[in-house]
Each structure stands twice: as structure tokens, then as C-alpha cells.
Structure 1
């Protein structure tokens, strides 16, 4: 019997690509994409329904379409795209609660797939080299997208206990990167000069957008359940990534790193929370054994080749003139330098 799948968040890049890919599969009879605005991109044969998952209307849509599968991709990563941090949390947490309440009342529902993030582990120098799904990070996220995603996962676990008849799969994706997607990390490596935390060169892991879509499709149509880490093979350091992108780096002392994030956020250059600054100090890497055993996924791109594909398609690689580099560095340092207090002498 063919599947009827309801997908949230189809107006965002990854959600739209996933809906299009799913609608092309022979096992799927119908795909209903839900979001508050019409998708600016092609979603193939998927149908679009304008709805807000924070509203009880989502329950009526689920009942009327008789969807047997729900794929939740509406957890927003950056507050700017949601209209601010308050709106972001409402969509992420309140929206998830409303969606799960609707799923609770849907007797035909057989499967729930949730797109989560590796950010739920946080970043800490005391974390193991590779984090498995059963581990909890030593310093879990305290704000922003990571904290929202951790709360979402908690609500999903509660739903699984209340509806044991529904198969639930949660995919913790590493930082997704590629030719089309825009994230805080793609913005970061597109800066003329990449700021780093002085004395740290963290190990990073990336997931190509094509592999992210394939993982979600397999989780939707296959037997996958529970939490699954998804990432490309291997790691690269932040310094290596900056060199691949042809970007010079400037080291910022640790006490000023969070202020650096604020400067870039307010300037609209990149969106970094305190938790993301910790990621740029300590990094984070995932064990992907379950990805292979449960999803049967062998990523087409390694961490290195995924990043290189991002660099190639964005046209980043090149030589920046010393004049431009020095000007950006001076501007950044001047913003981070504290203002002298009246009556104090500034030492040169």
C-alpha cells in the first residue's frame, strides 16, 4: 500500500528538496507539504497546504488527508529567518507540541520522522572523540536552536511512550552543507576573514545536503526507529576548512569570543549563539555506526568532499588581497576593543 506523507517546513530549502524527492518515489502515493508561506522553490508533485503548525488546524489537515506518516522538518535553526528569537522558539517548541498533539489523535498514523541536529550534544573539551546516540554531552546547549532541538526530542520521546504503535525515528544531522543550502556555518565560511577562537582548532564534521535528503527518505520509507546520528565520514579541522575556502583567519581571545559572535550577528554577517562559539572552540564529532546498520546509508560525500563541494559551487576559493584582509581585521578588532573609561589612560 502506498504511503501518504505529511511534511512540515517545506518552504525552507531542505524541506522543499525532501518533499520533491519523496514525491518521486513509487512507494509514496501522496505528499502534503505544510508551511506558513508558499515554497519559493519547486516541490515537484508534492501538494502544498498553507498552515501554521502552532495552530490547531494542523490536526484537521492530518485527519482530512489521512496521512499515515509525518516528517517534521519545521525546527528553525536561526532566529533571523523566524523573525526573532521569540518567534523561533514558538515555532520550534510550541509548534512541535501542537503537531505531536495532532499526531496523538490521528488513528491512521504509523510513522513519525523528526529532523533533529547534532547540536543537542553541545560542545565540551570533556566530550569523547565520537558521540554515540546513547551519550549525553558534558555541556548541553543552553540557548537557541540546540536547546530548542533538545526540548523537541524530549517531547518526541514522550509521544513515543504514549503511542507505542507509532514507529518514531529521530535523525541527528551533523552540520548540513552543500551547493544550495544556507546555514550559519556556510555564512561563517563565506566571510572575507574567518574569525577563530585563539588557541583552538576544533575538529568539524559535515553532512552533504544530498546525503541528508537520502537519510530522511530512508528513515521515512524504511524500518528505522529511535535516534540515529547522520554525518559524513572523517573530520576536518576549522583551520583546514578555512584554507579549503581560501579564507584567511584571525584569532580572537577567548574572553572576547562571545562578543565577536554578537558583533557578527548584529551586523547580519553570520548568526552565532554562545553555544555555537563553544562549537568553534571544541568542535563535535558523531559515531555513525547506527546510520549504517539501521538506515543502511553509506554517504556519497565524506566530510572533506562535502565541504569542498560547498567551496566549489559557491566560488569561494581565491586569494584575498592583504589590503582587504587587514581592513577587515582592523574593523573587527576595533569593535571588540572595550571603550576606555573616563579618567583612565589608554596604553599604546
Structure 2
């Protein structure tokens, strides 16, 4: 199966447990690239992009944040559209978090979008989702303690937990056609395999039907998601602990099961009850190793007297 290596899977679990404790949960469930999630028409204009950003904020539960949207041309020129929500705050020095997102001292944000990104709806939506995820991370102080190399991938993971996993997975594998042929680009820092695994965890954790997510994934992410769902089913007990026992997940106190593909399941049909998962096996072993209360030893003399008493009672009853 084409899944991330186990150390990377454990990293995703560790970081997801921390993010959930910091409030990274969906406000509107799983966000899909359809008219239900994004009802406003889009014509590529600055106002349309601003409305799209405001919509992503609303879906993440962050509409209360004031955001100014700016466009950056290839020549480096900038153009502002004003605030995405609320009234424009005063200007000032920007405290950069990710490259495209800045936070002013008054708490308002500035988001920069490249004019080239506007031409591709998948790339644009991914950029805006990552920007809003960055705002969440900033507001939750979730960047504290992260290394510089972790900030971007953890931002992607936060976006998945906020409900944007389908959009991010599609944005991780963008096919761009040009004169030299088609090329694959990624608008995310996490890979397609990592994002689809995180999406499968999300669906299992929040009770979302994975088939709904799969229907809105592009071909390559959809294929990877099918493998990730198999992994999530095999490790459902571990995934549940992201909310039930985050400390245990962060301390690496869990065992991962080897996911079984559909071919293996097909040829194992009729073999009887499935084998326990690694997590179930470990739990059973722990239960078997628990110390039981030893039975009290019966005193031989006391046992002899009790036997004689029972015999005497039996003789009395027989003589009646």
C-alpha cells in the first residue's frame, strides 16, 4: 500500500492529537467543493476572491477576524481589496506567520494572493484554506513550540481537522498542462499520501461517510484515499484515542496495525472471524497480565471440622 512510512504516520497522529486539544475541529462538517459549501458565483474578480476568502473563514468559524486581501503580480506589485470581514483596521508593521499571511498588532490579518493563483480554482481555494488555517493556528497559539520546518505541514493538518481535507488533498496534486506537457504541482506542504491519510482519520474520528469525500476527490487523491480508509479501519481504536486519550497518543503509547488491502480481504473471505488488530491484541495482553486477587488458603483443621459438621447434619436429616 502507498501509505506514508510509519514514523510519518506517528508524527501525523502526534500533531493531530495536539491540534484537537487546541480546538481544531470542524464547525460545518466536511467542506466539499460544491455549491452547498460555496454558493457564491465566482468570476475571478478581486471582489469574488474576497467573498471566497470570507466564505472559507465562515466555514472555519473565524468570521470574526478582520482580514485584508491583497493581490501580488509576478512583478511584485500589490493591490488591496480591503477587508474580507469587518471594518479595515489601521495599517502597521506585519508579523509574518506563513509567507502569504501577516498579522498586524491590532489583531487583523493580511492575506496575499498571487494573480496567477486566481486562474486555477483548486490552487486558489487551497491557498485560501491554508491562509485561514494559519489564522486558526495563530489565534490558538498552536505555532508555539513548533520548529520552523513543522509550521507549514502542521498548518495543512490543521486545515484537514477544520474540515477542509478534500480541498487540500485535491490541491496537493494539481495537473498543469503546458507546452512541454502536463506537470504535477502541489499547493500544500503535506504530500497527497499524508493528506489523504489525515482525511481518512478525520472521517473516522468525526463520523463522516468516506464515500462522500471520495466522490469529490480528483482521481489520484481518490486512489490514495481508498488505501488510507483501509488503514483507518484497521486502526480505528488508535484514531478514536486522538480525542479520548491525546496524552497517550502524544507519548507514543499505541501500536499500529498493518492495513489489509481489498485483495487480501477478498482471498480471506470464508476463513472465519477476522484476526484481532494490533491494538486489540495489546489490550488483551495487558488484561491477561493484570494481577488477580489470590484465593484464600483454607486451614486444613477448619476444613476437617466443617466436613464433620456437614456429615452430622446429613445423618440427622436422613433419620427424620
Q: 1 or 2, which has the higher helix percentage? A: 2
Larger radius of gyration: 2
TM-score normalized by structure 1?
0.25
